[in-house]
Amino acid sequence: MAITYLKSADPRPSVENQDIRDIVAIMLANIEREGEAAVRDYAQKLDGWSGDIVLSDAARAAACARVPEGLKDDIRFAQANIRRFAEAQKATLGECEIEVMPGLIAGQKQIPVSSAGCYVPGGRYSHIASALMTITTAKVAGVKHITAVSPTRPDTGIPDAIVFAMNLCGADLILNLGGVQGIAAMAQGLFGGRPADILVGPGNSYVAEAKRMLFGSVGIDMFAGPTDSLVIADRTASAETVAWDLVSQAEHGTDSPVWLVTTDRALARAVLDRVPDLIASLPEPNASAARTAWAERAEVILCDTREEAAQVADRYAPEHLQVLAEDPDWWLKRLTAYGSLFLGKETTVAFGDKTSGPNHVLPTSGAARYTGGLSVHKFTKTVTWQRCNADASHELALRTARISRMEGMEGHARAADLRLRP
């Protein structure tokens, strides 16, 4: 068995990370100290936004009215798929009750968090789908209050289509805010919101760092890095399809890794030859982003066998894993580390990013080794309860007291001893 790198990626720079941490720490401290005034100041300085922070009902209605009906239908289509999948996930969340021993009853309950903050990226692209993925899933989970934020554009605010999506999904409060200030406002419950129990949604490096720093005082879905995608392909795959699927993900940004793992050298060479032309055909700034990502972050890896290809994929633990190879059932059974899996030429990561239903907020940077993506489970607390009768209490007390004293925890032992008294 052999692994050959036909194209390797440059080492990822790490110097900027400390700068980002320092900037975010200062911003969060300022907002913690000065509240809404600091948020407004950052909105003006960073996004050029001096308008209303809270999107009024009238402004919501006006934004929704400006969205073309055809686009509304497309957004409704995607939201319905996302909702149906989330509802199916919720059906897997079970409550239970068991008599652990005679007289001791214990159980499990599923309780949604009370409030959630959903971040919808803006900037280069208007991420309509992120509004659908985060808010819909929280709503299906049973979250009672959802605040949504998204970066503004000077003089116009949040793009109309994103407002329509937020409104469709049931956001209780929409704030004209992006970046660290948007995250902090949701965490603190500023501008009439409720302090978020959990913050979810993708964002740039500053947003990700803000979530990381706030984790503990609030929950987060995950610490997200740049989006990444890996394609496994064999001799049956079309080089054109493989190339486009890689380019479409490199389009996300200059730091978005894409990887091809293949058992066919001719396919690898054909993809390497084709990608530059496909990138050149994109409009700007998409082409520049994809070109840099391909030059600096992409890898093409040649393997001898499909088992070897699977081992490489498991080691990379990609956010998105696409299989364009024979015997998809084998791959479904064999692969173990990915955020979301796409099997066969009829599907593509782009479907998952926008409309097909399973959530697109997924673990990046190898985190798929130990966690999955956003789901109703992330908005739900699995909690336990117990009660017992006198006989069970007596038995538990005897054993608890003995174990506690062996551990040196006399207070525990005496709390148990109390249950031995008549």
pLDDT value for 1: 60
- Verify whether residue 99 is a known catalytic residue: no
Q: What is the pLDDT of residues 307-359, one digit of tens each?
A: 999 999 999 999 999 999 999 999 999 999 999 999 999 999 999 999 999 99
pLDDT at 20 over 80: yes
pLDDT value for 155: 82
Q: Which of 95, 319, 346, 377 is catalytic?
A: 319
Per domain, the residue ranges of the chain are: 16-220, 226-369, 389-418
**How does strand 320-324 pair with strand 229-233?**
parallel
Supply the pTM of this predicted model.
0.93
Q: What one-character DSSP code corresponds to residue 239?
A: H
CB contact set of 117 (below 8 Å; sequence gap of 6+): 146, 147, 148, 149, 183, 186, 187, 193, 196, 198, 199, 200, 218
**How does strand 3-7 pair with strand 299-303?**
antiparallel
Structure tokens at 395: 């038995």
pLDDT at 134 over 70: yes
Task: Give the whole-angstrom CA distance, residue 321 versus residue 342.
Answer: 6
Structure tokens at 10: 């440059």
If phi > 0 it is left, if psi is from -120 to 50 it is alpha, else beta; for residue 171 that is: beta
Domains 16-220 and 226-369 share a fold: yes
pLDDT value for 309: 98
CATH architecture entry for 226-369: 3-Layer(aba) Sandwich (3.40)
**How does strand 299-303 pair with strand 104-112?**
unpaired
- Verify whether residue 320 is a known catalytic residue: yes
Let me know: does 48 contact 154? Beta carbons within 8 Å: yes
DSSP β-bridge partners for residue 5: 301
Let me know: does 108 contact 96? Beta carbons within 8 Å: yes
Task: Give the whole-angstrom CA distance, residue 300 versus residue 259.
Answer: 6
pLDDT value for 236: 97
Give the Cα-Cα-Cα angle 319, 325, 331 (nearest 5 degrees): 60
Q: What is the pLDDT of residues 67-114, one digit of tens each?
A: 999 999 999 999 999 999 999 999 999 999 999 999 999 999 999 999
Position 169: which residue type? C
| Span of 102-106, 153-157, 295-299 with lowest mean pLDDT | 153-157
Give percent of the chain above pLDDT 90.
Answer: 94
Domain at 16-220: CATH code:
3.40.50.1980
Q: Which of 127, 145, 320, 360 is catalytic?
A: 320
Give the Cα-Cα-Cα angle 227, 228, 234 (nearest 5 degrees): 155
Look over the chain and give the mean of its residue pLDDT values, rounded to a whole number: 96
